Amino acid sequence: MTLVENSNTKAHEEAAGSFQRSPRFMNGEAFNSTFKWLSIGSALFILVILGGFFVSLTVGAWPALSKFGLSFIWTSTWNPVTEQFGALPAIAGTLITSGIAIIIAVPLAFAIAIYITQLAPRWLRHPLGIAIELLAAIPSIIYGMWGLFFFAPIFAEFIQAPVIDAFENVPFLSTIFAGPAIGIGMATAGIVLAIMILPFIASVMRDVIDTVPKRLKESGYAIGATDWEVTRAIIIPHCKTAMTGAIFLGLGRALGETMAVTFIIGNANRITAAIFAPGNTIASTIANEFQEAYSSIHSSSLIALGLLLFIITFIVLAVARMMLNRISS
């Protein structure tokens, strides 16, 4: 038996050695090494692109930053004639419109995702899913034109005017809902942004909810839980991390939107608490003025706005990552 075992062991070693020395094994090893370095290179390439964006924006924005300093962030003056520029109105408009969009879009997206995955008849789920995805494919300029020529007149007549009249004498709310009922403004931009980011958030939430094990939901129904109780006690805890990521994905989309917002926000460089009043965002300011920037400091200030938008988006994504880590831990 010992001789047989020794001979088998020797045969196995010879076979393994011949396999390792075979051209096929050598080719596989070379392919694996190549694949590894290509993956590393691709990951580093993304970092190089991000670093290149940051460096190029910083270089272009440096004349404005060196002239105005950090006061560029909290100064509200934007006057190309006197070459005095401040980013505060654009920053405020960006945050306000994105906030309005998130407040409107998140509940609607969650409700749509729950209906498609839990409540809709089976024959209706696929068409609804396709409709949501088609909304995501519509170009932003189409949303802007629709908002300007169709939605804004209706919004002014049936929403803005009644709301302004209703809260005219109510403290605080009279300030929030003040302004002329002209249809365009930060509220209009926020609503159109909500419609734009809605399919992105809803699609991700739908796909995430589909990953909930069926037996978990059936166990909830088996003990007499309602649809809402199953959603609250099973679906949300199981999907909260991915849902949070979907929300921040939509927020990142809203922060950088340009053309649709440019059509309907009014493009007024001022800070106001009235959400019905015209305003502007970082992206809309750059889109409106970059081609007409006749001085180097004007162009540099616009590039500085782009740098601020880059930093704001980075901060939002960093906060999202920290929240996701805390939720998943």
Residue 22 lies in a domain: no
Give the model's pLDDT for residue 319. 83
Specify the DSSP class assigned to residue 293. Answer: -
In a domain, 226, yes or no: yes
Q: Which CATH number goes with the domain that contains 307?
A: 1.10.3720.10
3-26: average pLDDT = 51
What letter represents residue 231's amino acid? T
Mean pLDDT of the residues in the chain: 87
Number of residues that make up the chain: 329
Domain-located, residue 20:
no
User: Which residue's entry shows tokens 């006197």?
Assistant: 82
Taking only the tens place, the pLDDT of each residue in 261-288 is 999 999 888 888 889 999 999 999 999 9
Rounded Cα–Cα distance for residues 311 and 113 (Å): 31
Residue 326 has pLDDT above 70, yes or no: yes
Tokens encoding 304: 């500085």
Q: Is 278 left (phi over 0), alpha (psi -120 to 50) or beta?
A: beta
Q: How many domains, the chain?
A: 1
Q: Is the pLDDT of residue 7 over 90?
A: no
For the residues 283-311, what does the mean pLDDT come to?
A: 92
* Domain enclosing residue 170, as ranges: 28-328
Does some domain include residue 1? no
The answer to whether residue 174 is domain-embedded is: yes
Q: Is residue 167 part of a domain?
A: yes
Between the alpha carbon of residue 312 and those of residues 94, 106, 193, 277, the distances in Å are 10, 20, 18, 24
Tell me how many degrees the CA angle 77-285-189 measures, rounded to the nearest 5: 110
pLDDT score of 9 more than 60: no
Mean of the pLDDT values across residues 68-74? 91
Distance between CA atoms of residues 281 and 87, nearest Å: 9
In a domain, 2, yes or no: no
pLDDT of residue 113: 94
Does a structural domain hold residue 15? Answer: no
Instruction: Assign 277 to helix, strand or coil.
Output: coil
Contact 185, 277 (CB under 8 A): yes
DSSP 290: G
User: What is the distance in angstroms between the CA of the first residue and the CA of the last residue of the chain?
Assistant: 55
Q: What is the mean pLDDT of residues 177-191?
A: 90
Residue owning tokens 């370095």: 37
Question: Tens digit of pLDDT for each residue in 132-176?
Answer: 888 888 999 999 999 999 999 999 999 999 999 989 888 888 889
